Structure 1
Amino acid sequence: MNCGIRKWRIEDAADLAAALNNTKIMDNLRDGLPYPYTAADAEGYITAMLSAEKDSVYAFAITVDDKAVGSIGVFRKENIHRRTAEIGYYVAEPYWGKGVGTAALKETCRYVFKHTDILRIFAEPFAYNQASCRILEKAGFTCEGTLRSNAVKNGKVQDMKMYSLIK
């Protein structure tokens, strides 16, 4: 199994839609994504990522044998935080527990640190999402603490964790 990251292609839309039509994934992402998630939704997302500001958004397909099986993106912050960026990701359920997420996270962070002036990458997974927390830890991120009552997801107030990786 050859896993990695690459730029998005419009042809990835069907695979992206298939991955996101899963409530186990949607329940761990921020709100705003439509459900069900269609190929047209995926095409819109891919188009937006391909045309995004090149010094602010670094978005990639997570791949296994060149098939898109997830998404990972790094989003630069502004003002005094301009050298800090937030990372977000998901992997299609059939690829959970196979090291795909960890490999993509490591490769993405290496790319961002090598090709930009970003000094700090952070992630804020829901505290209950132990699998995502474990991926971050295996990729070298440090847990800086718990953000108590930090979000409302599916009508419930949730704690989140703060993880970071420093260049």
Structure 2
Amino acid sequence: MEFNGQGFKLRPWRMDDAKALQKHADNPNVSACLLNRFPYPYSIVDAEEFLEHITTKTPVTTFAIEVNGEAIGGIGLEIRQDVYRYSPLIGYWLSEQHWGKGITAEAVKLLTDYAFTKLEAICVQAFVFSENPRSMRVLEKAGYIKQGIIQQSVIKRGFVMDEHVYTAYPPEK
């Protein structure tokens, strides 16, 4: 399963992506506003362990962002349980050298559409640290609506931050 965007594609991760994943993920600016489960420094062992885990999951909900045959980022849906089972969380990251090109906003649109058409999502949510206005702009460009701010709810690298909540809804039929 692949999704084509302008100058990039989303495709399932492969074990042979380990070297590119490690190269692009090993950047403090990339990991600065991600959950701690995305480590920094990002080693080849981290890449291999992630790929071993993610390449066996079905349905596919986590994709590599590929440009010119190389995985330069990732995007995925975290399928939750119980009352949240139709409200996945979306998360993404992109190699710093590709920031500002519109790739991430288009990738978010593609994956959000997939969530609505194939996974029966009733909404898709994103939580963004207050120190990441670029990600907020990505979501807004992708049609997400800011729902609110959860004050002083996260701590990353010793800094307490607010978390901004964004949601996308299926298009009206």
Give the TM-score of the pair, scaled to structure 1: 0.93
Q: Which residue pairs with 1:89 in the alignment?
A: 92
Q: Percent identity of the aligned residues? A: 32
Q: CA deviation at 1:32?
A: 2.8
The unaligned stretches of length 5 or more in structure 2 are 1-5
Q: Distance in 2 between matches of 1:35 and 1:154?
A: 11
Amino acid at match of 1:100: I
Q: Deviations over 1:97-136 (max 9, x none)?
A: 0011111111111112111111111000111201000000
Q: CA deviation at 1:78?
A: 1.1
Verify: 1:6 aligned to 2:15, yes or no. Answer: no
Contact 2:74 2:94 in 1 (8 A): yes
Q: CA deviation at 1:52?
A: 2.3
Verify: 1:160 aligned to 2:170, yes or no. Answer: no
Q: Distance in 2 between matches of 1:128 and 1:24?
A: 12
Give the TM-score of the pair, scaled to structure 2: 0.90
Cα RMSD after superposing both structures: 1.3
Contact 2:123 2:167 in 1 (8 A): yes
Q: Distance in 2 between matches of 1:69 and 1:102?
A: 15
Contact 2:31 2:39 in 1 (8 A): no
Q: CA deviation at 1:25?
A: 1.1
Q: Distance in 2 between matches of 1:43 and 1:107?
A: 26
Question: SS of 1:4's equivalent?
Answer: strand
Aligned to 2:54, which of 49, 60, 63? 49
Q: Distance in 2 between matches of 1:48 and 1:111?
A: 22
Contact 2:122 2:169 in 1 (8 A): yes
The unaligned stretches of length 5 or more in structure 1 are none
Structure 1 stretch displaced more, 129-138 or 8-17: 8-17
Q: CA deviation at 1:43?
A: 1.6
Q: How many residues matched?
A: 165
Q: CA deviation at 1:10?
A: 1.1
Verify: 1:99 aligned to 2:106, yes or no. Answer: no
Amino acid at match of 2:129: F
Question: SS of 1:84's equivalent?
Answer: coil
Amino acid at match of 1:37: Y
